[in-house]
């Protein structure tokens, strides 16, 4: 079953009035940071905050009246689930969604809010998929696969039509890669319009299923990833040959690189992007020479990130950049000692977040104490200055961030 540029253009016509034609804009600051010309496609601005709406709507619109009456079932880590639930509700189709047990709560609750019946089952998409297949047969439901479906792939490919219409001279498209639905559609559309454009997929090192399948080696995946939207253990039967024929390269990124990309997009672009949506930027940051001077389109595929995870990313990012630090300072246990340290910190434009004064639980000599500070600084250079000033004043200082 082949998918053509005509299929994707037809899909675009079907959904044009019911999905957001999301912005595709150049990023001046990210271009300066990466050394490439960066163009961002904000699919996190769809109503359900994910590109998945495109394929979901195309698939639902293709159902016969009898299939609509029976209802649909989907298995998803979250974004496909919300897309199916939202558009099924809008079209008057009942929907059952099977999600892995550890799906971020925000995605579970949003899916329920769209009126779908949500069932949490299994450790990942493989187990959820098997259960959904069983339930589909039992309840006579139409299965809507998250990526291994011609209509789904065609719908996702409409992103490339919009990107190349906005910027026809894009040289590279960096695409998040899980099961392959998005990159297959994007690759068929982009290569059909402009054969010279490079299609580069990005997977996490914990879930390199597509890359391993292409290499012909046993697929080995980790247990979890911050990019749960592309945490797929088995490529699709439709998507694998398309990726083999149309994708130029697959890059891998680690968890820390994805975290940094999420934080960078939040700080620079003021946009919330989930881990899977940030892998393209993560790949650019870790492969600067590969993309330097090129016109690169990044698909910010989704923005459904759990607020607790986002909070942790922000805190950890501040620590990595030296803007949030823990210092242990040895002081004499005499009146005024703590006041003198805080005076020095204040004089150095350092904000004190937290102070712990420890007298008893320490191996220091009598009349000595340890004071632990949590501080806000302007960054690593400022932190060095702060530690230098304290050391110059005679204090023994230890940085505790990595303890």
Mean pLDDT of 69-88: 93
Helix-helix angle 255-264:275-286, to 10 degrees: 100
pLDDT higher than threshold 90 for residue 323:
yes
Give the residue from 110, 143, 176 where a domain finishes.
143
Mean pLDDT of 65-93: 94
Burial grade of 28 (CB within 10 A; 0-12, 13-18, 19 or more)? exposed
> How far is Cα 18 from Cα 66, in angstroms, rounded to an integer?
23
Q: Which long-range contacts (CB under 8 A, 24 or more apart) does 164-169 make?
A: 164/189, 164/190, 164/193, 164/194, 164/197, 166/24, 166/39, 167/24, 167/39, 167/295, 167/297, 168/194, 169/295
- Give 336's pLDDT tier (boundaries 50, 70, 90): confident
Task: Give the structural domain span for 223.
Answer: 5-50+149-317
Using H for helix, E for strand and C for coil, what is the string for 121-147? CCCCHHHHHHHHHHHHHHHCCEECCCC
Calculate ∠ Cα 288-289-291, nearest 5°.
70
Beta strands in 183-294 (DSSP E): 198-204, 249-253
- Provide DSSP, 53-112: HHHHHHHHHT--HHHHHH-EEEE-SSHHHHHHHHHHHHHT--EEEEE-TTS-HHHHHHHH
pLDDT higher than threshold 90 for residue 331:
no
For residue 122, what are its two tokens? 């299994």
- Based on the domain organization, do 226 and 198 belong to the same domain? yes
Residue 357, domain CATH: 3.30.70.260
- Based on the domain organization, do 330 and 277 belong to the same domain? no
> How far is Cα 339 from Cα 346, in angstroms, rounded to an integer?
10
pLDDT higher than threshold 60 for residue 397:
yes
Lowest-confidence region among 7-16, 265-274, 300-309: 300-309
- Give 223's pLDDT tier (boundaries 50, 70, 90): confident
Q: Burial letters for 30-59: b for 16+ Cβ neighbours within 10 Å, e otherwise?
A: beebbebbbbbbbbbebebbbbbbbbbbbb
- Based on the domain organization, do 296 and 187 belong to the same domain? yes
12 touches 266 (CB < 8 A): no
- Based on the domain organization, do 41 and 94 belong to the same domain? no
> How far is Cα 316 from Cα 320, in angstroms, rounded to an integer?
6
Mean pLDDT of 326-353: 88
pLDDT higher than threshold 50 for residue 403:
no
- Based on the domain organization, do 216 and 251 belong to the same domain? yes
| Per-residue pLDDT, 370 | 85
Question: What's the mean pLDDT when you consider all of the chain?
Answer: 93
Q: Give 331's DSSP letter.
A: E
- Based on the domain organization, do 223 and 243 belong to the same domain? yes
What pLDDT, in 10s, does the model give residues 93-143? 999 999 888 877 877 888 999 999 999 999 877 788 899 999 999 999 999
What pLDDT, in 10s, does the model give residues 176-216? 999 999 999 999 999 999 999 999 999 999 999 999 999 99
First to last CA, the chain: 55
Domain count for the chain, please give it.
3
| Per-residue pLDDT, 366 | 61
What pLDDT, in 10s, does the model give residues 225-279? 999 889 888 899 999 999 999 999 999 999 999 999 999 999 999 999 999 999 9
Closest listed residue to residue 62, CA positions, set 27, 87, 25, 35: 87
| Per-residue pLDDT, 362 | 65
pLDDT higher than threshold 90 for residue 73:
yes
- Based on the domain organization, do 287 and 346 belong to the same domain? no
- Based on the domain organization, do 41 and 101 belong to the same domain? no
- Based on the domain organization, do 107 and 161 belong to the same domain? no
pLDDT higher than threshold 70 for residue 359:
no
| Per-residue pLDDT, 357 | 76
Give the residue from 282, 317, 352 where a domain finishes.
317
Give the residue from 317, 335, 366 where a domain finishes.
317
- Based on the domain organization, do 95 and 20 belong to the same domain? no
> How far is Cα 126 from Cα 101, in angstroms, rounded to an integer?
12
- Based on the domain organization, do 115 and 101 belong to the same domain? yes
328 touches 403 (CB < 8 A): no
| Per-residue pLDDT, 284 | 98
Share of the chain above pLDDT 70, in %: 97
Residue 101, domain CATH: 3.40.50.1100
């Amino acid at each position: 079953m082949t998918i053509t540029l005509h299929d994707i253009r037809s899909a675009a016509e079907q959904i044009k009035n019911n999905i957001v034609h999301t912005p595709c804009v150049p990023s001046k600051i990210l271009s300066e940071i990466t050394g490439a010309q960066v163009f961002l496609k904000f699919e996190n601005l769809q109503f359900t905050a994910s590109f998945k709406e495109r394929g979901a709507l195309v698939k639902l619109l293709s159902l016969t009246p009898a299939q609509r009456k029976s209802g649909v079932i989907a298995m998803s880590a979250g974004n496909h689930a919300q897309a199916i639930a939202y558009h099924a509700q809008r079209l008057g189709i009942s929907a059952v969604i099977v999600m892995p047990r550890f799906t971020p709560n925000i995605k579970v609750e949003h899916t329920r809010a769209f009126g779908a019946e949500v069932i949490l089952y299994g450790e990942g998409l493989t187990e959820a998929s098997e259960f959904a297949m069983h339930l589909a047969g039992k309840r006579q439901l139409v299965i809507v696969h998250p990526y291994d479906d011609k209509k789904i792939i065609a719908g996702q490919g409409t992103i490339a039509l919009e990107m190349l219409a906005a910027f026809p001279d894009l040289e590279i498209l960096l695409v998040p890669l899980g099961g392959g639905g998005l990159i297959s559609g994007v690759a068929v559309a982009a290569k059909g319009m402009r054969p010279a454009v490079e299609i580069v997929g990005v997977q996490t090192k914990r879930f390199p299923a597509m890359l391993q399948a292409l290499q012909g080696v046993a697929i080995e995946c980790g247990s979890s990833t911050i990019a749960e939207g592309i945490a797929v253990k088995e490529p699709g039967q439709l998507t694998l040959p398309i990726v083999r024929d149309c994708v130029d390269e697959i890059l891998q990124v680690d968890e820390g690189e994805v975290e940094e990309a999420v934080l960078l997009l939040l700080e620079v672009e003021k946009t919330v992007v989930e881990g899977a949506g940030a892998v393209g930027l993560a790949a650019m940051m870790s492969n600067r020479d590969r993309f330097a001077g090129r016109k690169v389109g990044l698909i910010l595929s989704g923005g459904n990130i759990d607020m607790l995870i986002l909070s942790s990313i922000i805190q950890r990012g501040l620590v990595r950049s030296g803007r949030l630090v823990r210092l242990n300072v040895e002081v004499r246990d005499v009146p005024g000692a703590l006041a003198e340290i805080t005076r020095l910190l204040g004089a150095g434009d350092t904000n004190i977040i937290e102070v712990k004064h420890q007298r008893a639980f320490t191996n220091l000599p009598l009349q000595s104490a340890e004071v632990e500070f949590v501080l806000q600084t302007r960054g690593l250079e400022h932190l060095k200055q702060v530690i230098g000033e304290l050391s110059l004043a005679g204090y023994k200082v230890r940085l505790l961030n990595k303890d």
